[in-house]
Amino acid sequence: MNHDEREEALGEERASCPAEGETPWNRVITGEGVRIQTIPIIGQIEGHAVLPPPAKTTKYEHLLPELVLAEESEEVDGVLFLINTVGGDVEAGLAMAEMIAGMTKPTCSLVLGGGHSIGIPLAVAADRAYMAESATMTVHPVRINGLVLGVPQSFEYLTRMQERIEAFILAHSRIAPEVFRRFLTGHSDMATDIGSILSGREAAASGLVDGVASFGQVMAHLKKMAKQKKG
């Protein structure tokens, strides 16, 4: 990227930044006596390393405070997470998922397009997790790219990280451990890797998500949950 292209990209990024006191996620939908905040989780999950400007990202330092705001705000009765992510930073994604799982406000997630890799814990962290008819999830083990120093220690770290992710998914979904591990080590779906690509109906049938649903169906269910919580 040359100087002019970099300046143009930075200008676009600045133009898309919210004004002071606003956030791009703060969209409260009112109606039928309940208020629903919609939080998108899109693009690549960005952790400690800043990704290049053209990349669509969800930054954990932006999302975590927004979750605190939604939990504490008297104006929010429930939270809808719209998920379309390719995955990304594992620890940042798991931190977001733990925050979502710890909320007391009613929550629903809807995977649109894809909820891949670390996007799976983010989806199942909500009280109810749904997928669109055309959406997919990619289940695969934790991976690392580039030069690896201290191979035994790195392998041990990856193994323990995989165990943390697997434990979280199993605790927040109805999928059986043996079924999840079969998806994790599948060989038929990935050309140069192991893992499985699941359609919405496959994920629902396995218990990984609660069902296949449209946006309107998920919103109606979340409003019902919020009404019951308020009542």
Where are the domains positioned within the chain?
Answer: 34-43+74-230
Q: How far is CA 14 from CA 39, 52, 164, in A?
A: 21, 14, 36
Per-residue pLDDT, 22: 45
Rounded CA-CA distance 227/177 in Å is: 34
Per-residue pLDDT, 154: 73
Per-residue pLDDT, 21: 43
**Is 87 in contact with 93 (CB distance < 8 Å)?**
yes
Per-residue pLDDT, 23: 47
Look at 46-55, 69-78, 198-207 and tell me which has the smallest mean pLDDT: 46-55
Query: Is 140 a residue of the active site?
Result: yes
Which one from 117, 173, 196, 206 is the annotated catalytic residue?
117
Q: Is the pLDDT of residue 133 over 50?
A: yes
The closest of 119, 222, 224 to 168, measured between CA atoms, is 119
Which one from 62, 73, 134, 140 is the annotated catalytic residue?
140
Q: So what CATH class is 34-43+74-230?
A: alpha beta
Query: Is 117 a residue of the active site?
Result: yes
Per-residue pLDDT, 5: 53
The strand ranges marked E within 106-147 are 107-115, 128-131, 136-139
| Structure-block tokens of residue 136 | 């997919």
Rounded CA-CA distance 164/111 in Å is: 22
Chain segment 2-43, per-residue pLDDT in tens: 545 544 544 444 444 444 444 454 556 666 689 999 999 999
Task: Specify the pTM.
Answer: 0.84
Q: What's the average model confidence in pLDDT over 202-230? A: 96
The closest of 213, 209, 127, 141 to 174, measured between CA atoms, is 209
Chain segment 136-182, per-residue pLDDT in tens: 999 998 876 666 666 677 778 778 889 999 999 999 999 999 999 99
